[in-house]
Structures are given as C-alpha cells and as structure tokens.
A = this chain, B = another copy of it.
Amino acid sequence: MDIEKVNSMDFGEFVDVFGNVIERCPLIAAAVWSQRPFSDVEDLEKHFFDFIDALPQSGQEGILRCHPDLAGRELQRGTLTAESQREQSGAGLTSLRADERLQLAELNAQYRARFGFPFVLAARLRGRAAVPRELARRLQCPPPQELRTALDEVKKIGRLRLADLFGAHPAGL
C-alpha cells in the first residue's frame, strides 16, 4: 500500500483498513479521514496521535478501556481482534504455563483496580518474560504518569499496525 492509494479511499474503505490501528476505536480512524490528504505514513500516524492527545482525560482512559488484558479471558475465549491475537501470539502469550497465566491474571486484576483501565503494553516489542515484570513495575507508578505511559504504548502498537499495513519497518521504537 502507498499513500496515494490511501488518499484515494472513501471513508468506508479507510475505516475498513485503518479502523483497528487504535484497538477497537474505529471512531479515531473515521475522524482521521477528515484530515486527508496525507503526505506520507508519518503524517497519517501523526493525525492518529494528535487526535488521541486532544481528547479529554476521560476519552484517553476510554481508549485504554477498549484494550483487552494480555493473556486474559479474551485470549482464552478466542474473542480478540485479529491484530491483538497476532501480537499476543507473537509475544508468546498463547503458550504460558498455568502458573504464569495465573500470575498475570492476578497482576492484571490489581492493575485494573488501581488505575481503572487495563494494562496496555506493545507486547511484540517485549516478549513474554517482560510482561509480568513490566506489569509489576508499572503497578507502582503514580496514576498520572501511568496514564501517559499507557498512551505511549497505545501509540507504539498503532505505529506497528500502520507499519504492517504499509509493509514497512517502523523507525524510532
């Protein structure tokens, strides 16, 4: 895919292709379409990120709440989005031992209770051993800092998903 192709899409095609760049938030892709034409993939990405940054805090928390737990119930039930399924598989989260799954479930529950949104991590960049370590570390962070960290992870995930769609290797991660 190249940017001319993207700029020629009507909003239906655009939302079909980019609707899950931000997990389960097709509203954001649908809003970004208003900003076309895009000069390149970085410009397209910037409009996704600018939209996120301009939301009130409740909206930013809302984005996070649309994300599934890592190695959670949705993975067990097979109800993840295709992108999440690939990412959680790629990070080795589909082949955890029962005790590892239990440990993560407990940490995820503590995290959700503390912050009011699920633990979000660009798992593809880390791997399975890092997930409980990062989770335990971030559980200790002050809420305002943790909200920023979590949104940065949303953006890393979005950047990787855009790179997949464009068949490119993203820089600066």
Binding site for B on A (CB under 8 A): 10-12, 15, 24-35, 51, 54-59, 61-66, 112, 116-117
Contact = CB atoms under 8 A, between A and B. Distances in A.
14 contacts: A11-B116, A12-B65, A27-B27, A27-B62, A27-B63, A29-B62, A30-B64, A30-B65, A31-B58, A31-B61, A31-B65, A33-B65, A34-B57, A51-B58
A66 B27 contact: yes
User: Which of A26, A33, A34 has most B Cβ within 10 Å?
Assistant: A34
A51 B10 CA distance: 26
Main secondary structure of the interface of A (DSSP, over half): helix
A65 B112 contact: no
Contacts of A59: 27, 31, 51
Nearest to A57: B34
Given A56-B54, A116-B11, A66 B26 contact: yes
A25 B25 CA distance: 7
A63 to B, nearest CB: 6
A53 to B, nearest CB: 12
Nearest to A56: B54
Given A34-B57, A54-B56, A117-B11, A28 B62 contact: yes
A62 B112 contact: no
A105 to B, nearest CB: 13
User: Which of A11, A28, A32 has most B Cβ within 10 Å?
Assistant: A11
Contacts of A27: 24-25, 27-28, 59, 62-63, 66
